[in-house]
Structure 1
């Protein structure tokens, strides 16, 4: 296969977007959410994986955490992978990593990326549905379940577990 033929083959393959985020909690188990200025609802620190620059999902989650909340934290294990169908965009594969439990000092050190974020807050599990829209709500609940029961990574489609 020639270089041109291979390039045409690659250009014709289906596309998928990829994002990665970190799930941070405080000592009481509340989840750290950030409020973006570019869309409705709240989200976790995270964003698009810069795969064209060679970035991996873990690297993307770490980079976005540093950029969005100013914390340089070593991320733990992969908690959930979610395939989210799109209507006006390609599907998104969302990776969710354990950010761990933040200390009081770490919480005080949070510095928001003002270009994208309006505020942050800690939200108990039972109130997450009022803040997280769509598949993200199910993804976060599945990740919290994985942390609670010590099971392996949750596999989801549109925020619903498919591995059970």
Structure 2
């Protein structure tokens, strides 16, 4: 019995893919946004558009322009996170890029995509757990550590570093 390639592809597991940017202020706080469609805050970014053959880097830039009005070329890949499937969603992979340190002018020019976001805030690392899911908070801490040490991108599983973090 043979299966044609399209049928094979259609039978593969569905995996969501997203890309985010880690923007920081000069004093080390991180830029978070408050979506109006869920309870927790997040980083600027979103879904990679597969219909457009968009790359993770392109998605991070596009989403940052759309969500906060900042057109910044993504820097280094800081982390790549795998989130296992949950009760209402398939597994996902997220690419986290360095958005750099924002100037006072850039911060003053932030304009929210009002159809998706209610607000934004610059938050110290000690406060991220109050705003973010455990997975996203873990990714932020790992990314900041990678920046501080000049290390390679961090592999995350459910927000924790390491290939065998589960």
Match of 1:146 in 2: 146
1:100-134 alpha-carbon deviations (Å, 9 max, x no partner): 00000000010000000001110011111111113
Match of 2:118 in 1: 118
**Aligned-partner SS, 2:59:** helix
Q: How far apart in 1 are the matches of 2:106 and 2:67?
A: 14
Match of 2:85 in 1: 86
Match of 2:54 in 1: 55
Q: How far apart in 2 are the matches of 1:46 and 1:74?
A: 13
Q: What count of residue pairs does the alignment treat as equivalent? A: 162
On the 8 A contact 1:154/1:163 being kept in 2, the answer is no
**Aligned-partner SS, 2:58:** helix
Match of 1:9 in 2: 8
Moved over 4 A (4+): none
**Aligned-partner SS, 1:99:** strand
- How much is the aligned-residue C-alpha RMSD, in angstroms? 1.4
Q: TM-score, normalised by structure 1?
A: 0.95
**Aligned-partner SS, 2:4:** helix
Match of 1:95 in 2: 95
Q: How far apart in 1 are the matches of 2:134 and 2:47?
A: 17
1:27-76 alpha-carbon deviations (Å, 9 max, x no partner): 00000000010001110000000022100100000000000000111110
Q: How far apart in 2 are the matches of 1:148 and 1:23?
A: 13
1:163 Cα shift?
5.2
Structure 2 residue ranges without an equivalent (≥5): none
